[in-house]
Amino acid sequence: MRWKVQRIPLEQERVVRVTQSSSALAQAPIGVIDSGVGGLTILVELLRALPDERYIYYGDTGNCPYGVRPKTEIQRLAQNAAQLLLSHQAKLIVVACNAATVSAISVLRARFPEVEFVGVVPAVKPAAERSRSGKIGVASTEASARSDFLRQLIEQHAGGVEVLAVGCPRLVLLAEAGHLEGPEVEAVIREYIQPMLDAGIDTLVLGCTHFPAMRAAFQQVAGPDIEIIDSGEAIARRTRFLLTKHQMLAAPGQETVGNMPRALTSNDEFWCSGEADHFGRVAEMILHQPVRARQAPGMLIESGEAVKA
């Protein structure tokens, strides 16, 4: 399959989608976008919960990390990613990136009203409900930690609970490099979360989709008494709900959720903006099965370019 991304002014860009019957649309892929490999942790849950679907994943590894970029750049990158997946007829797009959800999902929904977007929300609500000490921690990207989105989430769902949040940009870089465990990773995790542990949290929210790939290292540092929560299963449930609502499930009668993610097939596609072989190697570490990725041309931007565009 060959395709071309045309660069034209943002206000003139349009997505042209072929009109499809509901049965044909049901067989279209679910799109998943992330700044890099982190969204693969969400894909794991989707493969487990919706094994009859096919998937097209785009990891923007060449522009990663998003969390340290200005909001306008994140919005531009997220729109480019959505444009790419819609050109492949994605029927629904999971924004499997906390920074992109916080900064861009409202823009995506306004720009592409013909498609449903599922965002990743830090699991603050279940963490607040489960906490015994009344103190929870959120490990996230810089963009998420300082966002009004997180502040509003805390106000709505964690009243009476003390929430400590920290941005962990070095962990994103370690994950992108394929360093998911070991002394180096644990040392960086400890640097970020030790102040929260010292403050008495008993529940830790992994507020970046890269971090569930490092769950074992987080647990090693936090200790057995700290409960660690992420939002992967909730995102898969939300995706199923929307597909059912719009009659877009590939197999409407399929209700069984497997214990293990299904095996990848040739119908699942993986794209990235950076080096494809490296992406494939790291993806294999997260998915525990071989991944053949392709590089999407023309997706890189220089810092500041999105602001000018």
Q: What is the pLDDT of residues 46-63, one digit of tens each?
A: 999 999 999 999 999 999
pLDDT of residue 17 exceeding 60: no
In this structure, CATH architecture of domain 124-229: 3-Layer(aba) Sandwich (3.40)
Residue ranges of domains in the chain? 24-120+232-308, 124-229
- pLDDT tens digits for range 126-152: 999 999 999 999 999 888 898 888 999
Q: Which residues have C-beta within 8 Å of that of residue 258, sequence separation ≥ 6?
A: 48, 51
Query: Is 168 assigned a catalytic role?
Result: no
What is the per-residue pLDDT for 146?
Answer: 87
Residue pair 249/239 in contact by the 8 Å Cβ criterion? no
What is the per-residue pLDDT for 9?
Answer: 41
Catalytic residue, chosen from 64, 168, 208, 272, is 208
Query: Is 97 assigned a catalytic role?
Result: yes
pLDDT of residue 308 exceeding 50: no
pLDDT of residue 229 exceeding 60: yes
Catalytic residue, chosen from 64, 97, 168, 272, is 97
What is the per-residue pLDDT for 252?
Answer: 78
Q: If you average pLDDT over residues 202-214, what whole number do you get?
A: 97
Q: If you average pLDDT over residues 299-309, what whole number do you get?
A: 59
What is the per-residue pLDDT for 24?
Answer: 79
pLDDT of residue 19 exceeding 90: no
- pLDDT tens digits for range 173-204: 999 999 999 999 999 999 999 999 999 999 99
State the average pLDDT for the chain.
90
- pLDDT tens digits for range 232-260: 999 999 999 999 999 999 987 666 566 78
pLDDT of residue 172 exceeding 60: yes
- pTM, two decimals, is 0.88
- Do the domains 124-229 and 24-120+232-308 match in fold? yes
What is the per-residue pLDDT for 13?
Answer: 41
Does 24-120+232-308 carry CATH code 3.40.50.1860?
yes
pLDDT of residue 23 exceeding 80: no
Residue pair 77/301 in contact by the 8 Å Cβ criterion? yes
Neighbours of 241 (CB within 10 A): 11
What is the per-residue pLDDT for 257?
Answer: 62
Q: If you average pLDDT over residues 82-110, what whole number do you get?
A: 97
Q: If you average pLDDT over residues 77-87, what whole number do you get?
A: 98
